[in-house]
A and B are shown apart, each in its own frame.
Chain A
């Protein structure tokens, strides 16, 4: 709590390129979502409600845009003058992208949202004073604010329903911001267990709730610095680099035949979620 301590931390304040000196060791949690496999079934979203104590806000509040789904399934269709979505819709699971240079982190006046060394964008509910600056500055708009005191709101968690609440996750009261945490309670539990055994978390040892429920396995999640992990292999195969704001493969002439991309990458927030483009058959 001294100024020296403050200055110490300050001296090491964010580098221009956040991951230049490869600080993510031994963990960097990241995700890859295959939109070709995603069928938009909402299983992940419900799993998230169950795991993370998300309140069901009800019809009226939903209408006012006060819904709390950390994971939302977006459904796109570009008309281009067609009558029917004859190549289907495009579904997109959208959650906090856990940006490496997260726009939300720098603006929080109290430091309630920070970067952790394992590459997560943390949100500390009890520190949050509810200025909502983070949400204002989030390009993906994946932060959700507790507009009401849901724990005491009628029919959010009526008697018995509250027994379902996950004790590992704080139930948020009014006035705090929240967002997808990559199921940090599961990550921390796995990390602590691994630490106790003097090793690092193995591939497959920890899953996020959405990943675990996804019927088509569209979501893969793991440690990006672990060469054994599926996520690492996917990112590598798709030639998507965490620390680039424009991928080299896209600058090649004739484009790329790979389908990995990150949303709004050009904003230089270095998201930790890679999406794989939905594929559509050209023969029909």
Chain B
């Protein structure tokens, strides 16, 4: 099967994609409704938590971090998908990424925004967050540049701004198309503004290519660093289970893994909701599935490396913790993580399932669950089974408020993402055209393509 039909007319591409801005399937509205609902619940919980204090999340001393930080890492991880597809694969000239990289990039941006929210939600004094911003102030004090948390904030901010830029720059030609296709109204004004006067001249194309490539190159180290830095939040501490040298690659692998899994999920949703069957084709899905499988195996390997290094080290406390994870109160979640993260992706190895949408959808959700559990299993057991036995957990189970905010974050992300897809072309028109062009060129050389299409 082919990645894409070579005989799609360019006009039809424009038409199909522009349609997604107008009339999606009804499921879109259903999703949007639930997203708003979940987000509303999250907001309610957060307002209550803000009023009452962090205690309502049922965190305690010393179990001071909980699902917020776990979910924060989860969203940061999710953000790696976009960069992987658009920047890394772009540089590798893997052109099958072209129909899907736009929404992956949007995912990057929005999951980063969600992650950023968690940093805020997690703060005990949210209203003083600006103390962590290095700017000249009347107090004459700098934040602490030694703190990985500060690096984190900066890395996230940089990554977020870069990916917004990347997303935007990559969208300019398409925005121009949208502008030209819109009759009138505020959306046309918006596209006009955002298209920055794109006319498609050679000079513009040349500048555009250079800019896009530059940002892509810039973004890759950022993506790697952002999750390495998140990893160093833990790796730089000296707590058992956190103080692990292999954490940065482990986190990056985990990030790519969860990102890919999320792409599969959203791929399937978008394909249906926006009627993108022509562009988001099963062969492309198959490629992503295979990629995901590979990353899953890398992640599994890194997991084994971590266990082995703990097991063979003389660090009795870390070893204790590992045993505790496998057998203690967190064991069900830990084993669920292993199951979802390492066993479930084996389905991807079976060819028959690589294009089976219901199976893939279910599997990708399980993978995401597994990756979320992984983050939780990194954060919480260390608190409940750290160096100091006297303070091991009392009654630590996340309260409904905590769950509510975590739940709400999914609503927030979905909301942003769905609104984006309805507002902007979520399939890159000009790149799909390129792809079709290149493929048809290849066919032309073989003389198999029908005449008169282009």
Contacts and interface: CB of A to CB of B under 8 A. Distances in A.
B135 to A, nearest CB: 10
A255 to B, nearest CB: 20
A64 B60 contact: yes
Nearest to B141: A111
Interface in B112-137: 122-126, 128-129, 131-132, 136-137
Interface string B40-58: 0000000000001111001
A107 interface: yes
Contact of A61 (B55, B65, B149): B55
A103 B388 CA distance: 15
B238 A143 contact: no
Contacts of B445: none
Contacts, number: 157
A40 interface: no
A228 interface: no
B309 interface: no
Q: Which DSSP category, helix, strand, loop or mixed, fits chain A's interface?
A: loop
B426 to A, nearest CB: 36
A129 B124 contact: yes
A163 interface: no
Interface in B228-268: 233, 236-239
A10 B54 contact: no
Contacts of A144: 61
Given A1-B137, A133-B147, A110 B61 contact: no
Interface string B142-186: 111111111001000000000000000000000000000000000
Interface string A1-27: 100001000100100000000000000
A139 B241 CA distance: 13
A140 B239 CA distance: 11
Contact of A176 (B65, B125, B153): B125
B390 interface: yes
B59 interface: yes
Contacts of B393: 65
B388 A139 contact: yes
A131 B68 CA distance: 11
Interface string A58-88: 0001011111000010100000000000000
Interface string A146-163: 111100000000000000
Contacts of B126: 130, 175
Interface residues of B, number: 50
A132 interface: yes
A269 B237 CA distance: 12
A66 B124 contact: no
B131 A148 contact: no
Contact of B395 (A64, A103, A148, A174): A64
A129 B128 contact: yes
Interface residues of A, number: 48
Contact of A136 (B136, B145, B237, B395): B237
A109 B149 contact: yes
Given A63-B394, A147-B55, A175-B123, A13 B239 contact: no
A74 B391 CA distance: 10
Interface string B396-431: 100000000000000000000000000000000000
A107 B236 contact: yes
A130 B125 contact: yes
B237 A107 contact: yes
A150 to B, nearest CB: 9
Contacts of A138: 62
Q: Which of B125, B148, B233 has the most CB of A within 10 A?
A: B125
Contacts of B63: 65
B387 interface: yes
B289 to A, nearest CB: 37
B55 A64 contact: yes
Nearest to B392: A141
Interface string A103-142: 1001111110000000000000001111111011111110
A149 B54 CA distance: 9
A189 interface: no
B359 interface: no
A174 B147 contact: no
* Residue among A108, A110, A144, A267 with most chain B CB within 10 A: A110
Interface in A14-47: none
Contacts of A141: 61-62, 386-388, 390-391
B383 A175 contact: no
B53 A149 contact: yes
Given A132-B64, A175-B125, A10 B145 contact: yes
A146 B126 CA distance: 14
Contacts of B132: 109-110, 129
Interface of A: 1, 6, 10, 13, 61, 63-67, 72, 74, 94, 103, 106-111, 127-133, 135-141, 143-149, 174-177, 264, 267, 269
Given A109-B150, A147-B60, A174-B124, 10 more contacts: A106-B146, A107-B146, A108-B144, A108-B149, A110-B132, A127-B141, A129-B129, A132-B65, A136-B64, A177-B124
22 contacts: A1-B141, A65-B60, A65-B61, A65-B393, A109-B143, A110-B131, A111-B144, A129-B124, A129-B129, A130-B124, A130-B125, A132-B64, A132-B122, A133-B149, A136-B65, A140-B387, A145-B54, A174-B53, A175-B54, A176-B125, A264-B387, A267-B238
Interface of B: 52-55, 58-65, 122-126, 128-129, 131-132, 136-137, 140-150, 153, 233, 236-239, 383, 386-388, 390-391, 393-396
Closest 6 CB pairs of A and B: A130-B124, A147-B55, A175-B124, A65-B60, A65-B394, A141-B62
